[in-house]
Chains A and B, each alone.
Chain A
Amino acid sequence: MTGTTGTAPSKDHGTTGPTGTALGAPAERREGRQKVTGAARYAAEYALPGRAHAWPVPAAVARGRVTGVDTSAALALPGVLAVLTPGDAAGLAAPEDGTLAVLRSADVPHRGWCVALAVAETPETARAAARAVRVTYGTEAHHVDLTEDAPGGYEPDEVAGGPGRVEHGDPEAAFAAADVRVDVTYRVPPLHNHPMEPHATTAHWEGDRLTVYTSSQGGTTVRATLAQLFRLPEERITVVAEHVGGGFGSKGTPRPDVVLAALAARHTGRPVTLAYPRRLLPTVVGHRAPTVQRLRLGAGTDGRLTALLHEVTTHTSHVREFVEYAAVVSRVMYATPALLSTHRVVPLDVPSPSWMRAPGEAPGMYALESAVDELADALGTDPVELRVRNEPRREPGSGKPFSSRHVVECLREGARRFGWAGRDPRPGVRREGPLLVGTGVAAATYPFQVAPSTATAEARPDGTFVVRVNAADIGTGARTVLAQIAADALGVPLERVRTEVGHSDLPPAPLAGGSCGTASWGWAVHEACARLAAHPEEGPTVHADTTGEADADSPYARHAFGAHFAEVAVDTVTGEVRVRRLLGVFAAGRILNARTARSQFTGAMVMGLGMALTEHSTLDPAFGDFPESDLASYHVPVHADVPDIEADWLDEDDTHLNPMGSKGIGEIGIVGTAAALGNAVHHATGIRFRELPLTPDRILARLLCEG
């Protein structure tokens, strides 16, 4: 066994961290016991009296209009309560997010769009009714093929809060004049979030009061959206998201399930649960948009970059613009006098893309870090040293100084632990019987983001404290880490703090997304608790609101960084790539809970492994949606794919972030994983694969021709 195991003390569930307070301690997650005993309830599991079940009918055409819906056979089934059809939501206000405009009109913007909803006494009857609905369509020609020169593409004005295009110097001329040039195109296919809990909502009306139990990364936004759509004051809406079975971006904002369930509940006068069937999820909850990325790197013979051009082509739907901002990473990573980072987005008749773990950064760093590896090869320079040599003093895109940047330290520490020194750079020479073995490295980056939040802290007469914030615990351990932040600010033992999250009666808070949840909620919790500790007379309950502070402009470029190291064995007989070792070393500010942080880092690395080796979706040109729509055809990594994974971190002391000094940790683990694995496959085989995933069919085909 060549694998190494994680370094955090696995079985220590202490409640005191390195500084002697609760912060940083590997505290056990608070809802863990409920989750291992089956007591934790998720959105579809609120069996309210009289509850009915809904089942969607997906559009069978890629573009057109519904010309007729025959519900008679469905309604004739015993136990069917209703079939909602286009127009039944016409009375709702128009949503800002077009993906929520379900059943408003007869238009079909893409295949899989919900065109009817059956509601019945049982899930079996609802499913049968949905199948019995007969829909006729007027169809129009559709286009779902993404090519670099697809017509209708445009450069977006804004991506990820910055411009769509950044250009410094004269990149074309600088590239043409470079001593050493790499000009390569990388491709990432559409990818699916597939959290294990499908998107689900149980909705219930009492008069004009609406309660939804929903699987969401941000209940505050769900409430605001429902209030706008149903024209209700927010006080009449309650949103409960106590346990959320993962989201990875796909539950970041409300998705059609919550609108449809509320609509069906109002229509039938019954509580209604809509648990979206797995196979239908890819078309309605968002996906990672495919990218075609051209990278041009020019360098002097000393290995210093003289030009970096990163041009991304991606698709969006006609429903809503979403840009997979993969070129943004090139504004952060390397010093270069001439930089081009730009996007071109092509609206197609595809399901709407949306956030998937590290949108932009994950595919962008796959391409950039693979191209850097190609440059290292061309120069004959060690890939770790090449990265170190191109370390920028200021952020290349903005010119701002970094609040903290320890990517070189991550690379050095990772190299030390991995045993990188003395690596034979020659590709394709390490044979073990039928196997070819190789190692690879890649850097990682993810922006520090933070949003205003509110929170309260209450001192109870018995000496305990309660902190309240409408945070979402999607598996990050938010309850636990917020209690640690509170205990630290209050100066009390962790056991004396209780956290309440996941309910819209609690103080409003931003979503668990963009790796900004803990930073945002924690800031408000910290402020409330610090004030309560300093001025107990303000109590028993202190309310904090970080508006104006958390969203203030920073003079610093703020990002987390990391380095990934991978070892793979490529089977020359089957074409299979097996991962032997995977190591991630991260610099993400102060780590607030060593145990749950490690789980997030390694979990994201598993998702990166899937992106590199197993996960593959396509858009069917004839039908217009994803053939790989279920978990049998879309391969998320399984136990057997995943070796021992080591994730660790360097502590950073960064005072330009928030009172805890923490950066986000939920996404950076995925960012460099695919490139590290791809680079290792090149080192093993001597062949550059520039399209993910690296599945046996692709590997074997080229090994046979070129190996």
Chain B
Amino acid sequence: MTSAHQPGHHSEVTLRVNGKPHTLRVDHRRVLLDLLREELDLTGSKKGCDHGQCGACTVLVDGRRVNSCLLLAVALDGSEITTVEGLGGDGDEPHPLQRAFLDRDALQCGYCTPGQLCSALGMLAEAAAGHPSHVTDPAAPSGPPVPLDRTEIRERMSGNLCRCGAYPRIVEAIEDVI
């Protein structure tokens, strides 16, 4: 609706992205993915579909994995965002999962890779916190960490598409850091 496109439909938000605070006046239509890519030049988060269907845009918001193409930036005031650019430690060392992706050749074109990485880290935290998945034994006690076998990893990573078909290697890379 055109009324939503008139000037004035902007608000100021403050986000912490990879540890750094940013205060920005954002268009209410702007999603987090476009804010990262267009305003902060953090183009590591990829746009594969813009509709929550591919996972290429996955980032961590307050430690949880989300499709950043589905989150309106204006609603994220005060959030802590981690993108692929923020996964490594200080200096040049990549995160162990990034290293594992290289070791296993868990990528080809690389376009899904940042999303796979962020999603895997979010997923590991969810399992550690005891979140069950569709394939978790319903009789398992809730609360303790869910052990991750390949079936669990595959189920939990299924929101992240890889058209190059690097899946078998991605699963191995994730296992390397468990």
CA of A125 to CA of B10 in the docked complex: distance in angstroms? Answer: 13
Nearest chain B residue, comparing its CB with the CB of A80 = B5
B15 to chain A, nearest CB (A): 17
A124-B27, A630-B51, A639-B153 are known contacts. Are A38 and B43 too (CB-CB below 8 A)?
yes
Contact A125 B5 (CB under 8 A): yes
Contact B169 A78 (CB under 8 A): no
B167 to chain A, nearest CB (A): 4
Interface digits, A15-32 against B, CB 8 Å rule (1 contact, 0 not)?
Answer: 000000000000011011
Stretch of A228-236, A243-251, A454-462 with 4 or more beta carbons under 8 angstroms from chain B:
A243-251
Contact B171 A639 (CB under 8 A): yes
Interface-central residue, B83, B161, B170, by most chain A CB under 10 Å: B161
Cβ of A690 within 8 Å of any chain B Cβ, yes or no, is no
B66 to chain A, nearest CB (A): 17
CA of A637 to CA of B165 in the docked complex: distance in angstroms? Answer: 8
A11-B104, A36-B117, A196-B164 are known contacts. Are A278 and B109 too (CB-CB below 8 A)?
no
Contact A605 B5 (CB under 8 A): no
CB-defined contacts of A427 to chain B, threshold 8 Å:
none
Q: Which of A323-345 contact B (CB under 8 A)?
A: none
Q: Which of B48, B112, B164, B168 contacts A278 (CB 8 A)?
A: B48
A197-B46, A278-B50 are known contacts. Are A78 and B5 too (CB-CB below 8 A)?
yes
Cβ of B21 within 8 Å of any chain A Cβ, yes or no, is no
CA of A277 to CA of B42 in the docked complex: distance in angstroms? Answer: 20
Stretch of A378-386, A398-406, A562-570, A592-600 with 4 or more beta carbons under 8 angstroms from chain B:
A592-600
Nearest chain B residue, comparing its CB with the CB of A8 = B105
Stretch of A527-535, A640-648, A692-700 with 4 or more beta carbons under 8 angstroms from chain B:
A640-648
Contact A35 B103 (CB under 8 A): no
B103 to chain A, nearest CB (A): 5
B122 to chain A, nearest CB (A): 14
A148 to chain B, nearest CB (A): 32
CA of A26 to CA of B96 in the docked complex: distance in angstroms? Answer: 21
Nearest chain A residue, comparing its CB with the CB of B44 = A38
Nearest chain B residue, comparing its CB with the CB of A246 = B109
Contact B110 A475 (CB under 8 A): yes
Q: Which of B87, B110, B161 contacts A40 (CB 8 A)?
A: B110
Q: Which of B2, B30, B47, B103 contacts A128 (CB 8 A)?
A: B2
Residue total for B at the interface (Cβ-Cβ under 8 A): 65
Contact A246 B108 (CB under 8 A): yes
Q: Which of B99-129 contact A (CB under 8 A)?
A: 101-105, 107-114, 117
Nearest chain B residue, comparing its CB with the CB of A34 = B110
Contact A198 B38 (CB under 8 A): no
A102 to chain B, nearest CB (A): 22
B57 to chain A, nearest CB (A): 11
CA of A198 to CA of B111 in the docked complex: distance in angstroms? Answer: 10
Contact B105 A278 (CB under 8 A): no
A47-B38, A245-B109 are known contacts. Are A278 and B102 too (CB-CB below 8 A)?
no
B174 to chain A, nearest CB (A): 10
CB-defined contacts of A47 to chain B, threshold 8 Å:
38, 41, 43
CB-defined contacts of A37 to chain B, threshold 8 Å:
44, 84-85, 87-88, 94, 98
A10-B103, A275-B47 are known contacts. Are A639 and B27 too (CB-CB below 8 A)?
no
Cβ of A425 within 8 Å of any chain B Cβ, yes or no, is no
Cβ of B158 within 8 Å of any chain A Cβ, yes or no, is yes
Cβ of A656 within 8 Å of any chain B Cβ, yes or no, is no
Q: Which of A610-656 contact B (CB under 8 A)?
A: 630-632, 636-640, 642, 644-645
CB-defined contacts of A195 to chain B, threshold 8 Å:
109, 111, 163
Cβ of A139 within 8 Å of any chain B Cβ, yes or no, is no
Contact B161 A196 (CB under 8 A): yes
Contact B45 A38 (CB under 8 A): yes
A29-B105, A42-B111 are known contacts. Are A245 and B49 too (CB-CB below 8 A)?
no
CB-defined contacts of A640 to chain B, threshold 8 Å:
154-155, 158
Contact A36 B163 (CB under 8 A): no
Q: Which of B135-168 contact A (CB under 8 A)?
A: 150, 153-155, 157-168
CA of A603 to CA of B170 in the docked complex: distance in angstroms? Answer: 12
Contact B109 A196 (CB under 8 A): yes
Q: Which of B47-79 contact A (CB under 8 A)?
A: 47-51, 53-54, 56
Contact A603 B50 (CB under 8 A): no
B178 to chain A, nearest CB (A): 15
Cβ of B80 within 8 Å of any chain A Cβ, yes or no, is no
Cβ of A607 within 8 Å of any chain B Cβ, yes or no, is yes
Contact B167 A245 (CB under 8 A): no
Contact B102 A36 (CB under 8 A): yes
CA of A122 to CA of B31 in the docked complex: distance in angstroms? Answer: 12
CA of A38 to CA of B159 in the docked complex: distance in angstroms? Answer: 19
Q: List 17 A-B contacts (CB under 8 A).
A: A5-B172, A10-B104, A10-B169, A29-B102, A38-B44, A45-B37, A122-B27, A122-B30, A128-B2, A128-B29, A195-B111, A278-B51, A603-B108, A631-B49, A636-B163, A639-B153, A639-B160
Query: What would 11 more interface pairs be, CB under 8 Å, given A29-B105, A38-B42?
Result: A10-B103, A28-B105, A35-B107, A36-B110, A37-B85, A124-B29, A195-B163, A639-B153, A639-B157, A639-B158, A639-B170
**Chain B residues engaging chain A, CB cutoff 8 angstroms:** 2, 5-7, 27, 29-30, 34, 37-38, 41-51, 53-54, 56, 83-85, 87-88, 94, 98, 101-105, 107-114, 117, 150, 153-155, 157-172
By Cβ-Cβ distance, the 8 closest A-B pairs, closest first, are A38-B44, A606-B165, A245-B111, A475-B109, A35-B110, A603-B165, A475-B108, A38-B84
